[in-house]
Amino acid sequence: MKNELNRLTVKEMAQGLKKRDFSCFELTGAHLDAIAKKDEEIGAYLTVCAENAKARAHALDALGKEQRASAPLYGVPYALKDNICTAGIKTTCASKMLEDFVPPYDATVEERLKAAGGVPLGKTNMDEFGMGSTTEYSAFQKTINPIAHDFVPGGSSGGSAAAVAAYEAPYALGSDTGGSVRLPAAYCGLVGLKPSYGALSRYGLVAFASSLEQVGVLSRGVYENAAAFLTLLGADEKDATSCAFPPFDLERTEQAGVKGLRIGLLRPFFEKGVDPRVATGALDAAKTLEHMGAQVTFCPLAPPEHSLAAYYVISSAEASSNLARFDGVRYGKRSEKGDSLEESHAFSRGEGFGKEVKKRVLFGSYVLSAGQIDRYYHKARAVAAALKGEVTSLFEDFDLLLCPTAPALPPKRGEHPPTNAYGQDLCTVLANLTGLPALCLPCGRTREGLPLSLQLLAPMGREDLLYRTAFAYEGEEKK
C-alpha cells in the first residue's frame, strides 16, 4: 500500500496520517518517487524541491499530537505554478527573462498552505508569464497531457494540471486570467476553481493582467479543491484587491445536495462554434442535476465573441503595463548588448521574452496608445461592464449558470495555430471579465477517451454553491 500512497484521495491521505497508518515523510516520498519515475516524460515540474520537502515532512512528523493542526490538508503535499513566489526557490514564470530569479519571500497563498501543514513539492511548468492555453509557450520545456499523451494539457497552468493528473501531486495551485486553471483542468479530467475576484490574495503572484487574474486550485476531486480554497480564503493587508468573503462549512456543503437549485444553461455556449460532443457532455450533466432535483432552464447571453475580444484587449493592455518593469535593470535578464540604456532595455526584452509575450505586449501598447485607447481599451472596458450587468441580472432568476468549460476537445500537441488557441478561452473569459467564481469538473469521456468538462458560475462570493453542486454531481457519477 505504501508504494501507492500518491494514488489515495486527499481525504484518505489525511485519515491515514491521523491514524498513523503512514507518515508524512512516507507520503511525501511516494510523490517524489512518482516525480522521479514519470516527470522526465510528462514535464510537469520546472523545479522539484525534494530535499526541502523531505525536511519539512520530517519536521511535521516530529510534532506532538497536541501540536498538530486539525486542518484537512495537514501533512498533504502539493505543487505550485511557477509564477507564485517562493522564498529561496526559483520563480521563473517559464521565461528566460526570470530564469535565475529567486524571490526573498513567499506569496501569501504559499504562506497559508504551509501554515496549514502542507508540504510543497516544487514549481510547475506554464505558458510564459501565463500567456497561452497549451503550455507550449514555456521557454524551457513542453508538458504533455498525462491521460492523452498526443494532446496538450491546456494552459497556462498546464504543469500544475499534469502533475495532479499524473499522481505527482494530490492538488496544485495555478493562476487563472482567462481560463488558465479551468482549461488545463478540463483537458486533464480534473476539478478546477477560478475563485471570486478578491477571494484569494494575489500578493506574490507575478502579475499578468491584474484586474482579471486570480490564484486557483486544481485537483482530482471536489473535496481537496474545496479544502484548499477554504485554507487560502481571507483578506490580506498586503493585497489591496483582496476581500473578506465569509467561509462556509465544508461538511454541510458536501451533504447539501442540489434539490431546489435553479440552474441556467448559457445558450450561446451550446450553439455555434462549440463541438457537439462538448455541448452534449455538458447537457447530459445538466440532465443528471435535473434528475437530482435541480431546476434547469436555458437562458440568453450576449454573443461570446464580444467577451473574448474584450478580454484580449484588456489583458494585453495590462500585460504591457505590468511587464514594463522587466527591462534588465529593475528586474530580469540583462543583455550584454547595447551602447545606451535604451538599447540595453530593447536587447534585454528582446532576448528575455518569447514570441507570444512580445506579441501581446506590442498589442497592449498599441491599444493603450493616445490614438487608440478610446477606440479599443475603453470600449473593451464598457463591454466588460455591460456583460457584468447582464450576468448579474441572470442571478435574479438563477442560483447558478452552466456551460461547457471549453468549446472544443484538447488540441493535439503542435497542431493548432495561436488564433485557434485564443478561441479556446471562449467559455472561460466570462468569469474573469465579471469577477465571478467558476468551477469546472469532469463529466465523462468521448469514445476516444478524451475528457469532457462542465463549468458552473455563481454569484460573487458564493463558492459554496459551486462546491455544493459539484459534490452532488461527483457523488452521483460515482454510483
Give the DSSP letter string of 221-246: SHHHHHHHHHHH-S--TT-TT---PP
> Is the model's pLDDT at 335 over the cut of 90?
no
Confidence (pTM): 0.96
- Positions annotated as catalytic residues are 81, 156, 180
Residue boundaries of the structural domains of the chain: 1-479
Confidence (pLDDT) at 308: 94
Question: 2-28 burial, b if ≥16 CB within 10 A, otherwise e?
Answer: eeebbebebeebbebbeeeebbbbbbb
Q: At 65, is the pLDDT very low, low, confident or very high (cuts 50, 70, 90)?
A: low
| Region of poorest pLDDT, from 29-43, 64-78, 172-186, 196-210 | 64-78
Report which DSSP code applies to 82.
Answer: T
User: Minimal CA–CA distance to 244: which of 175, 205, 196, 212?
Assistant: 196
The letter for the amino acid at 389 is G
- The predicted model gives 119-126 an average pLDDT of 98
Q: Which tens digit of pLDDT belongs to each residue from 166-213? A: 999 999 999 999 999 999 999 999 999 999 999 999 999 999 999 999
287 to each of 37, 273, 277, 470, how far by Cα in Å? Answer: 41, 22, 15, 14
| Region of poorest pLDDT, from 60-74, 88-102, 226-240 | 60-74
Confidence (pLDDT) at 64: 62
Q: Which tens digit of pLDDT belongs to each residue from 302-333? A: 888 889 999 999 999 999 999 999 988 888 88
Q: Are 25 and 76 in contact (CB under 8 A)?
A: no
Calculated CA dihedral for residues 100, 346, 414, 136, nearest 10 degrees: 30
> Is the model's pLDDT at 2 over the cut of 70?
no
Q: Which of 3.90.1300.10, 3.40.50.1950, 3.60.15.10, 3.40.50.2000 is the CATH number of 1-479?
A: 3.90.1300.10
- The predicted model gives 233-254 an average pLDDT of 96
Confidence (pLDDT) at 68: 60
Confidence (pLDDT) at 284: 98
Please give the share of the chain, as a percent, with pLDDT higher than 70. Answer: 97
Q: Which tens digit of pLDDT belongs to each residue from 447-470? A: 999 999 999 999 999 999 999 999
Reported in sequence order, the residue ranges of 244-356 that DSSP labels E, i.e. its strands, are 262-266, 295-299
Cα 284 to Cα 140: distance, rounded to the nearest angstrom: 40
- The predicted model gives 372-387 an average pLDDT of 96
> Is the model's pLDDT at 420 over the cut of 70?
no
Residue 11 CA, distance from chain mean position: 21
- The predicted model gives 72-92 an average pLDDT of 97
